[in-house]
Structure 1
Amino acid sequence: MEPLRIGGQQTDSAVGNLTDSGTATAAGKPQSSIPLLDLKREVAELKPQVMQAIESVLDEAAFIMGNQVKQLEQETAEYLGTKHAIALNSGTDALVIALLAAGIGPGDEVITTPFTFFASAEAISRVGAEPVFAEVDPLTYNLDLDSLEAALTPRTKAVIPVHLFGRPLDMERLMDLASRRGLIVIEDAAQAFGAEAGGRKAGTIGEMGCYSFFPSKNLGAYGDGGLLVTNDSRLAETAAMLRTHGSKRKYYNERVGFNSRLDEIQAAILRVKLPHIEAWNEDRRQAAARYHELLRDIPGLMLPGEVPDGDKQVFHQYTVRVLNGQRDALQAGLAEAGISSIVYYPLPVHRLPVYADRGLTFPLAERLSQEVLSLPIWPQIEADVQEHIAGHLRRLMG
């Protein structure tokens, strides 16, 4: 499998442009002149601060669970408005540890969406519980809450909603349902750091929230990383214990856990980037608004919908739907023009080989997988770049 080089980074073509999911433009193509995500400008702007932060870690010579991790936890908790933040080595581990901290295991069912990255369901299977899927909403692509309610059984113990592409789910309605049914809500906010639902940060409304610091995320490290947040001190204590081999004190292990510690260098880098996240997210919203203006009258192209008052979308991706059955041809045409794009997700989770033998069908999720296409977006994307992309979309859509 040939590597892709997009935005100055080499990645596996099955992984795409510094993302932990999705299908990028075809392998073997020359480097695109417009990447899906360009991290070079951010790196250049922050490099002096980042290098200083890394040097401070080297000077302290404390590389695991030191002062940088502690301060990052304090600062992210303050920013998100939550009592506890536990830094971990990935967003996937955050989901697994959240489920275990909540006591979810064999015999339990956990409902999630089939239109997301595999990790949301994988974490459920990893703890021995049963992932149950519900249909998605045709406008938001998030979980359809009527379908979710219909999927409940006496074995349902938890729900993992995903704030897909940085758009928050209707958390007020979900929490009302969860309260009535006695369900634990673990928010997958991997793509939604800084998004808001009803004036509260996505990931802080359920019992626990899980974030990814993968480099492509709105707040990304320069390697893997994750975060678990909660307002429940008991859950926080359990999660912190699970990340360090199930021990509160070294060599006194109380249960089987993980080695899931965020390292000091990544914590230091994230601390440099955290103060910029509000401005970066606002820049993404402005870029999305510009796309709206440029693309709104193209027949056969469905744009992201508006969010309700009190919500804030952070546009981790700007994802359109191509309604004329020509998505793949459109993507190929953009690639020929030197414009990267990516498909999130070419197969819904219930159709992946690991779950395909269940014979499940979710027509809308399956249709979305054949229609969605994510366009280049990053905080510093220039207006003329978006105009260039829009011009080619207009030409290719006829």
Structure 2
Amino acid sequence: MKIPFLDLKQVNAPYMDALKDAASAVVESGWYIRGSYCERFEKEFAAYSGFAHGVGVGNGLDALTLMLRASVELGRLKLGDEIIVPANTYIATVLAVNAAGLVPVLVEPDERTFNIDPQRLADACTEKTRGILAVHLYGRLADMKAIGEFARTRDLLVFEDAAQSHGARFNACAEMPADSKSAEAGMKSAAVAYSFYPTKNLGALGDAGMVLTDDAELARVVRMLGNYGSEQKYVNRYRGVNSRLDEIQAAFLLAKLPHLDAWNERRREIAARYVREVHNPLVRLPEIPADPREHVWHVFTVRTPDRRVRDALQKYLEARGIGTLIFYPIPPHLQQAYAAGPEGGAMDVLLPANPKFPIAEKMAETVLSIPVSQVLTDEEVTEIIGALNEFVC
């Protein structure tokens, strides 16, 4: 039995007729940039996520960058301000902070959740700290209650990188009914950035992204920045970029959005089986949050005692026909892009002279993600569980 890590053709196959209809409708409309499908998806995804405003952009990195740039343009941040980010995130989070003219400050993650450790925030703050960019890594919500409470004590802005957490819900929103869509990831933040890269829980058939916010002025500036800095044709208020959600991708996403909750629930079922049925001491399993809705299992990531065991496990699973991936093998501070000295360019991320983030580095050496897509069959899940339990090293 061959089980790929993710088969996008299989993911999209059940919806092929709807996707073809969506593509045909856009082509026949004659309107291909920021038309009715983009407007509808912005409104529907914002409403689904509990926000007043959604602005479609070209991709997830642009969503991160433009929500921060808009905050600078509005005077809520200024160039050179420090923004706290997790040390084990994908490099896009750090790149976006730099691209907005800000300085990323790396903070170690919580080994239990893989997300930024709120207990370490105070030590990372300086007189230049003006914000926190939380990342909901692997689909699990960061502890936004603790992050929000800390931010209020320091008068910091909070932003979110929700590229992996489409549909996750906050348990912390006590003022909301338990099933309220307003308990969506990001409710307590200034803005949230999403990616709809094809592999995401809600994926387009190409690049796509969105900024969600309750702030009408921030949404307006994000929209202008993504349209060459213009709100009125040939009148450019800002030095903007070209980053707009394509009509055809918006139409695809509209066709897929109604299925997102069911897909996430299937991922939770698979994750629960892994946690319940894998008993190999060499395979350290992630925890399921007290409120399962706080995790949508974009990936299911296990850990091993060391890199040697991780590499052996990956090779063993590959031999069994089971696909795996490593999210992420090199943390941002060890990437050549952020290397100190003339060869690596300017050091525009706040690091000590010899940067060491032992938790993030150990995670990079020991994490391995196994299949968890909603299209996995029960038989395939059983095969993966059996393979993990039979692994020896």
Same fold (TM over 0.5): yes
| Among candidates 381, 385, 397, match of residue 392 of structure 2 | 397
| Among candidates 290, 294, 298, match of residue 280 of structure 2 | 298
Alignment of 1:70-81 (within 5 A): 70-81=39-50
Deviations 1:17-55 (A, max 9, x none): xxxxxxxxxxxxxxx921111222332210101101111
RMSD: 1.4
Structure 2 residue identity aligned to 1:308: A
The question of whether the paired residues in 2 share the 8 Å contact of 1:63 and 1:263 is answered with yes
Deviations 1:125-182 (A, max 9, x none): 1122111101110100100111122101110111111000000011111111111111
Return the offset for 1:364: 0.7
Counterpart of 1:102 in 2: which secondary structure?
helix
Distance 2:11 2:143 in 1: 32
The question of whether the paired residues in 1 share the 8 Å contact of 2:283 and 2:388 is answered with no
| Among candidates 31, 56, 65, match of residue 96 of structure 1 | 65
Normalising by the residue count of structure 1, what TM-score does the alignment of the two structures yield?
Answer: 0.89
Distance 2:50 2:88 in 1: 28
Moved over 4 A (4+): none
Instruction: Indicate yes or no: 2:248 matched with 1:275.
Output: no
Instruction: Indicate yes or no: 2:285 matched with 1:312.
Output: no
Instruction: Indicate yes or no: 2:200 matched with 1:240.
Output: no
State the partner residue of 1:20: none
Instruction: Indicate yes or no: 2:110 matched with 1:137.
Output: yes
The question of whether the paired residues in 2 share the 8 Å contact of 1:135 and 1:148 is answered with no
Counterpart of 2:333 in 1: which secondary structure?
helix
Deviates more, 1:71-80 or 1:351-360: 351-360
Counterpart of 2:108 in 1: which secondary structure?
coil
Distance 2:164 2:293 in 1: 15
Deviations 1:37-92 (A, max 9, x none): 12223322101011011111111110001000000011111101100000111010
The question of whether the paired residues in 1 share the 8 Å contact of 2:310 and 2:365 is answered with yes
The question of whether the paired residues in 2 share the 8 Å contact of 1:57 and 1:264 is answered with yes
Counterpart of 2:151 in 1: which secondary structure?
helix
Counterpart of 2:131 in 1: which secondary structure?
strand
State the partner residue of 2:366: 371
Structure 2 residue identity aligned to 1:229: L
Structure 2 residue identity aligned to 1:264: E
Normalising by the residue count of structure 2, what TM-score does the alignment of the two structures yield?
Answer: 0.90
Instruction: Indicate yes or no: 2:126 matched with 1:157.
Output: no
State the partner residue of 2:98: 125
Structure 1 residue identity aligned to 2:166: F
> Percent identical across equivalent pairs?
40
Return the offset for 1:300: 2.2
**Unmatched 5+ residue regions in structure 2?**
174-182, 341-350
The question of whether the paired residues in 1 share the 8 Å contact of 2:89 and 2:135 is answered with yes
Counterpart of 2:55 in 1: which secondary structure?
strand
| Among candidates 40, 48, 67, match of residue 36 of structure 2 | 67
Instruction: Indicate yes or no: 2:192 matched with 1:209.
Output: yes
Distance 1:364 1:147 in 2: 12
| Among candidates 224, 228, 240, match of residue 211 of structure 2 | 228
State the partner residue of 2:145: 172
**Unmatched 5+ residue regions in structure 1?**
1-31
Counterpart of 1:354 in 2: which secondary structure?
helix
Distance 2:201 2:231 in 1: 32
State the partner residue of 2:21: 52
Instruction: Indicate yes or no: 2:81 matched with 1:108.
Output: yes
Deviates more, 1:222-231 or 1:352-361: 352-361
Residues matched between the structures, number: 366
